[in-house]
Structure 1
Amino acid sequence: MLNLLGDQAYLNSYQLDIYDTSFDKLMQKRIYKVLLICSSYDAFLLEEDGRIDEQIFNEYVSLNLRYPPVFLQAHSAREVLRILQEEHIDLIISMLNVGEMDTFKLAKMLKHRYPSIPIVILTPFSREVSLRLQNEDLSAIDYVFCWLGNADLLLAIIKLIEDKMNAEHDILEIGVQTIILVEDSVRYYSSFLPNLYKIIFRQARMFMTEALNEHHRMLRMRGRPKILLATTYDEAIELYSKYKNNVLGVISDISYKVNNKRDHVAKAGLQLCRHIKADDPNIPFLLQSSELSNKIYADELCVGFLHKYSKTFSLELRDFIVNNFGFGDFVFRDPDTLAEIARASDLRQLQQLILTIPDRSLVYHSSRNDISKWLNARAIFSIAQLFKPMRLKDFKSIDDARNFIYYAISAYRLSKGRSIIAKFDRETFDDYKFFSRIGDGSIGGKARGLAFVNQVIRKYNLFNKFENTIITIPRTVVLSTDIFDEFMESNNLYSIALQDLDDEVILDAFLKAKLPERIKIDLRKVISVFQRPLAVRSSSKLEDSHYQPFAGIYSTYMVPHSDNPDQMLQNLAKAVKAVYASVFYKASKAYMNATQNVIDEEKMGVIIQEICGNQYGNMYLPTLSGVARSINFYPIGSEKTEDGVVSIGFGLGKLIVDGGVALRFSPKYPKKILQLSSVEMALRQTQKNFYALNVDPNSFEPKVDDSSNLLNLDIREASSIPDFRLITSTYDMHSGVLRDGYYDEGLKLVTFAPILKHDTFPLAKILSELLEIGEREMNNHIEIEFAANLNPPSGMPNLFNFLQIRPIVDSDQTELVEWNEIDIKKAILYSKSALGHGKVKDIHDFVYIKPESFNPAMTKEIAHELDELNKRFTELKRNYVLVGPGRWGSSDPWLGVPIKWSQISQARVIVEAGLENFRVDPSQGTHFFQNLTSFRVAYLTVNPYLHDGTYDIQFLNSIPAWFETKYIRCIRFEQPLVIQVDAKTNQGVILKPENG
């Protein structure tokens, strides 16, 4: 195998750098709105044909463009002027006969008022029309076409004008190729151009295979050859002189005007052919004529000839272009016999054949610029332009030329191959590298999820599927796990990390350690490109696996942006080291023990990515963040389990993953939201606080609590933030009415009504599609995290950041539950809202918070008592049932006990039980909730005061406690409890043991 580094070294001796073309810079000028001036009858025919919109739409989708052109119709001069005043029109197309209007007078008036808008006239084909056109002043008309009802013509017109608009930049600056067509007959170029564009598009679809992913395939289509039309000899000479270094070939009539004179010059095409061939004898030239006798001139000039009346005209045209313009496969030939020696259908095959073809074949094709022509036709401009000016005499030998071509192609392919997950190169890292890796080890679970998300976005063309919205992952750099290994070993940190030390001690030791110097240099390059605040996230080898997703176990730090690169680098390095330290915190060790993993086998990757959002004063935050799940364990009303569920909030996503009050809805029914079903409920159960990043870089100092530099603010402090107006409703205290939208007077509530009810942003549609696609691609129920910026800079689309995807670990759903055989009257607890499936066995202990002692103000003390009790169960290696009021795992102590998973890790059944004066919706969409489901913990909700399930607290109180504190009681039964959960009916029951 040839050494790729050697390839690059060879090219470096020529001081050459080869990169792929920036296809996103091509075709910047587009036809978005077309004004069609026609009679009602013509409009009817166009609509009945039905193929125009379809063809144009399909072509635009294939080019990965955001907006296909819109056709607006006008049937009178007054309508024309009104539309031009109200709309930005890019092209005017008028039928020749439009009722009372004189088309040519109207065109003059429009060109005078709107000189930059191209005007095209469509005419029927007849001798009378041709005579009329000869006597009309066509100075205001850009093109005249013959309309025979063929929808392909409109597509060709739009592409021809777009090619003309973009020619100078795309051809001269980027290297896009052009085909010059010289024809003055309206009848012929009207049929010729659609044929020519079909051939061009077919070629473009072929060279899409040179790309390594779907997104780049679409972009490469923009590099297709352009077609430029000349109708006189002088126009043809002007086009050739301007673009001659990028001309694939010329197709010319034989007789046409010179210098816009009225009479044809009989042999103008031959004169043009001699002129061009004298300048470049290798340019393919095709002469066409309605007189077959003119073929003799083509033969004398050794160029192609096409008879306009030939019955196989289209096939002959296609064959000539494929065989002479570099389209199709590259065929190596024997220069003496022109017999085929070898054939290459792609760049890889061409590269290999370069090493083996005979010298005489290489000399033949090189002297004719065939290789550069073939590369240009496939939009591989960088190496094509490298080869074209070179001659064999520029090299020491044939082998030297052969090696140069081989290594140049090798370098190009190497560079292009890095475009999916690019290996980080601080010399070439720039804004176009969306996903790069530093190091050679694993990128970890979260990073794999991000890479998978990026692939899904490309595969399903989601990037710009929704109008005025970009769906993408954040710009990302990943430090792979080998950097973690090197950091740990070079600083001798395992000796400290594996000890039973306080988290603060471990963090301090890691912050004092040093990152490898080369990594700091790489990070300095990263911050020179990333100009937004950065999220530094864990990506361990175990995170987001199918069976043990470590959701939220390790730390995520948000680093504010600093214009001082030294300070920014220092803060970023601290964040990376703090993420490494979080592997060895007590909670992480407890989790590893619970999952029976070994802590010193865990390897940590680190994700560095830009944070979605905007800065307002000392705050930085997105418009919204959220978590969506493809399965809804608590469907309400007409919702179904498979419809999924979403939790969204204003500001950073910490609100959601920590279990704060957010808005819950099904993406299938975004207008039906339980929390907004009454004004009273909306006032009580909508978001009361939000998180934002403190943008002061001096405030950043990593703590064990990774949210230490986040601002937890009252929702009333959001009133000055422009984004807040996009997601609120206003409560009028005088009328008692909740109005959708932001109004100056009244209490503002976070309802997302403008988005969910009035579709100002297609959030529900986006999430429905992402959940459906993600579930299908992962073959599993999934959870995704996302954020969106709905207040982008002027002229920019809205941004939907797809942040993460992970599987939801499902219980086995093969066991059937015979509910008619279960006596609910014997239940300690029965729930109609249960998560999980199957029997939970070998549980003897029942732990519950005493309702009479419960006080929301004391939930932190309750959490401490549970932590101590859980340690005893851990030592005894026993599991238990845990019942308590409110929301387990919430960061808000007023919603329930603010417990961490490590503090109740021995619980195998967890119940949220409402009290008469303390009722909270069940938690979903939190990391805590995700970890419960990953361990297949049965999860039940009961609200006996609302006649929703049963909870026999009197039975429990009648049994002596095995252990009791101020707030909790633990009952131990001699016989195991009978615990059954049924995911299909969402029922769960805990029965009293037979012997008590």
Structure 2
Amino acid sequence: MACEFDTHFKVFHELMSNKVLEILLVANAYDAFILEEDGSLAAKIINEYRGLNLSRPPRLTRVDNARAALTALQETGCDLVIIMPQWDDMDPFDFGAAIKALKPNLPVIILAHSVVGLHPLPDNKDTAGIDRIFIWTGDADLLLAIVKSVEDRLNAAADTRRAQVRVLLLVEDSPLYLSQFLPLMYKEVVHQIQAVLEESLNESHRLLKMRARPRILVAETYEQALDYLAQYGSYLLGVVADTRFPSSGKLCNDAGARLLLEIKGRIPDLPTLLLSSDPANRIKAEQLAVPFLDKNSPHLFDKLHGFFLDHLGFGDFVFRRPDGSEVVRVPDLHGLEAVLPSVPDEPLRYHAARNRFSNWLMARSEIAFASQLRQVKVSDFPDTAALRAYLIDGIKALRRWRQKGVVIQFNAETFDPATTDFAKIGNGSLGGKARGLAFAASLLRQSHDLFKRFPGIDIRVPATLVIATDRFEHFVADNGLADLPVGRLSDEDIQTAFLSADLPAELERELAAFVNAVRYPLAVRSSSLLEDARHQSLGGLYCSLMLPNQHPDAAQRLKQLVRAVKQVYASAWLTLPRRMTRGTVYAHRREQMAVMIQRIEGRAYGPFFYPAVSGVARSQNYYPFGSISPNDGMAVILLGFSRESGVGLRFCPRFPQLLPSFSSVEDILTNAQRTFFAIDLNHARKTTDPFDTSIWVRRNLADATQEIPVKQLSSVYLPDEQRFRDASGESGPRVLTFSAILKHDHFPLAPLVAELLALGRREMGCDMELEFALALDERAGRPARFSILQLRPMASAGDPLEVALSARDRTEALLYSNNALGHGRWKHIRDIVYARPEAVDASRTMDMAAELARINARLKSEQRPYVLIGPGRWGTFDPWLGIPVKWQQIDGVAVMVELRSQALKADPSFGSHFFHQITSHGIAYLTIVESSRDRIDWQRLNQLPAESDGAFFRQVRCDHPLLIKCDGRGSECAVLTDRHASRFG
């Protein structure tokens, strides 16, 4: 038996003959960096190939644009082209067609950040040049899934013919859901193979078993699924099908049910699963007697995992009687061999007759023996004893191959903070926030000219340690936190559960080594997968803590750090983040959290620790003034730590001397920063509580006039002369003007920030945001230190088409703004919610927010995005300056309009986390100013039919969708009704 078994294994050398060895990535530097650092493409492929003893891993070559890619394809070959369409020299579909003209059989994949403009595909697009479209969701496993999917499609026909390799069929036409499901299915397959590798004894058999894993094929239409059924029906391991996908060229609401009915008629015992985003389709699954999964279920991944375990033969082998009752279950081949002698005849023959042993072995990549079992029938044996002996002998032959492998990225024994700027614990993702910082570090390493232009400045990222997302998963699993009924628990209860849980012992040992090596203050910050994402940002929703890290006892410092890490972990499951993902494609996805432990920038001045400058800068200034253009960017800076919103001096890095808030002596005296935040080191050395906010002290500027930052960044006010003198040695009352770094050459802050914004914009391929801190020192040999704390993309919105406005658009618009944020064209919105001007009452804005929340909830439940028009500042903390809504009270909005009226006078909401949420969700934001070119046609608006008319807000619904054109480059937007929009289509 063993000899026959080994002979069959020789066929595995012929499997996977078509491999993806060369990948051409067409992407800008930032997108490529995301794939490398967040997706860890090269590292994951190399680690997997090494861990499984596979041969040469794919090599990734990147080019910046389509022309360079076509040149590279003519000069050298490749096996796969991945297009990330964040460049503008050629339409990606035209580019795909050009590639196919050169190499008709070369796989071409689009990997985009959003489905906008890609699904459903525009009617005028020729998609023949693109094999498949995927959406980057922050899942590091998607990249490997793309490579594996291409290889499976190329090899399935030959490999099923040569070795009867099993096939899993996924029927799904949505790029977004395909990008969610396919990595999970491959992860299940790979985890299954990795688990059974423990049963391998020699390296060559490891290689062969990995090559024999089940192939996953994707069908996007009913006809394609039937073709696969005809070709691979005898090799199918299972079918996972959506309910709604194209059939006969049109979307068919019951295509999935019809397909599974056809399959059951041909292969009655084949495991199948019906998916749908509509829970009502569960009835169709029940009629077919097949499992059903709701795509929007928060437990989707767990239930899909259960399908693999219970129906596809993954995981334990469960002996059952014909009535479904369980007899015994075994986790591996050793266990199966152990129970086979004692399993009753009835369940043994039951499973053998239905090819359950073969399926289970196929799922474990035991192709040779599984293929043998597939060919034999129960009737081939004289009795059950002979069948039993056949199975036992075969399993004995399989139990010769075992292997284990551990990859360690952080070495507690060799960690040296003096030479380590960026370290990573674990093998998972860095998360959104940390990947931006890692990209910044990468840019700095490559930007030698930057340091030449700014000599004597230590430009850096702070020393950072990232605990990758896989350690969070281990923490949750080890403590049974996945079973917490988070929907029924308060935030306080969730935090208590997390804080009482234990970190994995290995992680705690690594953190102990880190704490023993560093004594500087630490920021413990969240870095979730969705944080700072371009189209679904959850930035600002999670926990970040500052630790003084000053206690003399290292054990106490470790205790503080461990507690802080668990607090950040807990924030992933709190109410607000979960609410923010509700109704999105991520609703079913349990958030994964990385933790970034970062050195806090600053210096000690006596007992106080603080940075000279904290700031944020953006490459796009959506609210320019004077001669400043949007592309000149903007920045906000302040002295000390930033712990309050709305504080700081706003300026343009290219024109730092143009300061609207400092336009006069009176303005300077009124608007200048008077207090700042610092860490009290004396108190910090005594406290053992990581949540002790008393380490923070608000200091008056007058109490710090002898400290270097205040001396260098302030000016002396001369009341008799009604002017300021910038000399730091002058005596008199000091006012924080930042003149030394904005007007003079003490430190070139503005040109450095402008250079970094230009560099980041160029390499990221989009507008970006930079957080930074500056430490000043006048002592010789200690240069000023400029630290990049965060680098992230600014989000864009809408359909990426040309949206230039005509003169007729501006005059015929229902409303027009020449102060608009966002870019794109919207053609599906019919609802408008607006505050009736006569009902606006500054003393009742809290009531207005409550009424708006009810309208929003109803429209969101109806899946009707809307235009929102209201007075004053949206999301303000001061109810007298506007309507103090929270994000969840308006999260169904598509376009927001801020009216600067006589009733409520307030500046737009510059730079808040609330405003970042708006831009991250691709929402157009308009400001309409009275007595300007802006206009709103109240007469036409009031004539529209009302769906609801409350105390403050009126909701109207148009007969036809509005056309909304927002030109982000020109900072203008027009909302057109159907009679004016019909010519646009």
TM-score range, shorter chain: 0.5 to 0.7
Where does 1:815-834 land on structure 2 (aligned, <5 Å)? 815-822=802-809, 824=811, 826-834=812-820
1:435 aligned residue: 422
In structure 1, which of residues 449, 459, 468 is the aligned counterpart of residue 456 of structure 2?
A: 468
Matched, 1:607 2:592: no
Cα distance in structure 2, aligned partners of 1:511 and 1:993 = 56
Matched, 1:980 2:968: no
Cα distance in structure 2, aligned partners of 1:969 and 1:523 = 56
Q: How far 1:974 moved relative to its partner? A: 4.5
Matched, 1:559 2:547: yes
Equivalent position amino acid for 1:479 in 2: I
Deviations 1:165-204 (A, max 9, x none): xxxxxxxxxxxxxxxxxxxxxxxxxxxxxxxxxxxxxxxx
Would the alpha carbon gap of residues 757 and 943 (structure 1) be closer, same or farther in structure 2, given more than 3 Å must change? same
1:808 aligned residue: 794
Cα distance in structure 2, aligned partners of 1:482 and 1:450 = 19
Deviations 1:496-537 (A, max 9, x none): 264243322222221111112232222222222222221111
Q: How far 1:967 moved relative to its partner? A: 5.3
Q: How far 1:875 moved relative to its partner? A: 2.3
Where does 1:354-503 land on structure 2 (aligned, <5 Å)? 423-461=410-448, 462=450, 466-496=454-484, 498-503=486-491
2:239 aligned residue: none
1:757 aligned residue: 743
Conserved? CA contact 1:429–1:525, under 8 Å? no
Cα distance in structure 1, aligned partners of 2:699 and 2:494 = 30
Matched, 1:529 2:517: yes
Cα distance in structure 2, aligned partners of 1:611 and 1:749 = 26
2:503 aligned residue: 515
Q: How far 1:429 moved relative to its partner? A: 3.3
* DSSP 3-state at the match of 1:423: coil
Cα distance in structure 2, aligned partners of 1:473 and 1:736 = 41
1:870 aligned residue: 856
* DSSP 3-state at the match of 1:822: helix
Q: How far 1:603 moved relative to its partner? A: 1.4
In structure 1, which of residues 478, 499, 505 is the aligned counterpart of residue 493 of structure 2?
A: 505
Cα distance in structure 1, aligned partners of 2:696 and 2:828 = 43
Equivalent position amino acid for 2:916 in 1: Q
Deviations 1:812-854 (A, max 9, x none): 5532434223252x54432111122233233333334455665
Deviations 1:222-270 (A, max 9, x none): xxxxxxxxxxxxxxxxxxxxxxxxxxxxxxxxxxxxxxxxxxxxxxxxx
Matched, 1:633 2:614: no
Where does 1:818-857 land on structure 2 (aligned, <5 Å)? 818-822=805-809, 824=811, 826-849=812-835
Would the alpha carbon gap of residues 815 and 627 (structure 1) be closer, same or farther in structure 2, given more than 3 Å must change? same
Where does 1:569-648 land on structure 2 (aligned, <5 Å)? 569-598=558-587, 600-615=589-604, 620-648=609-637
1:292 aligned residue: none
Max Rg structure: 1
Q: How far 1:474 moved relative to its partner? A: 0.6
Q: How far 1:990 moved relative to its partner? A: 2.7
Would the alpha carbon gap of residues 427 and 931 (structure 1) be closer, same or farther in structure 2, given more than 3 Å must change? same
Q: How far 1:606 moved relative to its partner? A: 0.5
Q: How far 1:701 moved relative to its partner? A: 5.7
Cα distance in structure 2, aligned partners of 1:761 and 1:956 = 53
Would the alpha carbon gap of residues 966 and 501 (structure 1) be closer, same or farther in structure 2, given more than 3 Å must change? farther
Conserved? CA contact 1:476–1:609, under 8 Å? yes
Equivalent position amino acid for 2:573 in 1: F
Report the identity percentage.
Answer: 38
Equivalent position amino acid for 1:881 in 2: V
2:366 aligned residue: none
Cα distance in structure 2, aligned partners of 1:979 and 1:707 = 46
In structure 2, which of residues 742, 755, 767 is the aligned counterpart of residue 781 of structure 1?
A: 767
Q: How far 1:908 moved relative to its partner? A: 0.9
Equivalent position amino acid for 1:485 in 2: E
2:890 aligned residue: 904
Cα distance in structure 2, aligned partners of 1:835 and 1:687 = 28
Cα distance in structure 2, aligned partners of 1:560 and 1:886 = 39
* 810-819 vs 645-654, greater mean Cα deviation: 810-819
Q: How far 1:883 moved relative to its partner? A: 2.8
Cα distance in structure 2, aligned partners of 1:716 and 1:594 = 51
1:942 aligned residue: 928
Equivalent position amino acid for 2:443 in 1: V
The RMSD of aligned alpha carbons is: 3.7
* DSSP 3-state at the match of 2:484: helix
Would the alpha carbon gap of residues 858 and 647 (structure 1) be closer, same or farther in structure 2, given more than 3 Å must change? farther
Cα distance in structure 1, aligned partners of 2:840 and 2:731 = 39
Q: How far 1:492 moved relative to its partner? A: 1.2
Would the alpha carbon gap of residues 847 and 748 (structure 1) be closer, same or farther in structure 2, given more than 3 Å must change? farther
Cα distance in structure 1, aligned partners of 2:870 and 2:712 = 37
Would the alpha carbon gap of residues 617 and 829 (structure 1) be closer, same or farther in structure 2, given more than 3 Å must change? farther
Conserved? CA contact 1:975–1:995, under 8 Å? no
1:76 aligned residue: none
Conserved? CA contact 2:835–2:952, under 8 Å? yes
**Structure 1: runs of 5+ lacking an equivalent:** 6-417
Normalised by the size of structure 1, how large is the TM-score?
0.52
* DSSP 3-state at the match of 1:436: strand
Conserved? CA contact 1:832–1:986, under 8 Å? yes
* DSSP 3-state at the match of 2:502: coil
Conserved? CA contact 1:537–1:606, under 8 Å? yes
Would the alpha carbon gap of residues 864 and 610 (structure 1) be closer, same or farther in structure 2, given more than 3 Å must change? farther
* 947-956 vs 534-543, greater mean Cα deviation: 947-956
Greater relative CO (CA pairs within 8 A, separation 6+): 2
Normalised by the size of structure 2, how large is the TM-score?
0.53
Conserved? CA contact 1:530–1:610, under 8 Å? no
Q: How far 1:966 moved relative to its partner? A: 5.8
* DSSP 3-state at the match of 1:672: coil
Equivalent position amino acid for 1:436 in 2: A
Would the alpha carbon gap of residues 872 and 759 (structure 1) be closer, same or farther in structure 2, given more than 3 Å must change? farther
Cα distance in structure 2, aligned partners of 1:424 and 1:681 = 54
Equivalent position amino acid for 2:576 in 1: A
Equivalent position amino acid for 2:776 in 1: L
Where does 1:120-269 land on structure 2 (aligned, <5 Å)? none
Matched, 1:881 2:867: yes
Conserved? CA contact 1:784–1:803, under 8 Å? yes
Conserved? CA contact 1:574–1:702, under 8 Å? yes
Conserved? CA contact 1:733–1:747, under 8 Å? no
Would the alpha carbon gap of residues 855 and 611 (structure 1) be closer, same or farther in structure 2, given more than 3 Å must change? farther
Cα distance in structure 2, aligned partners of 1:600 and 1:813 = 27
Q: How far 1:972 moved relative to its partner? A: 4.2
Cα distance in structure 2, aligned partners of 1:647 and 1:496 = 42
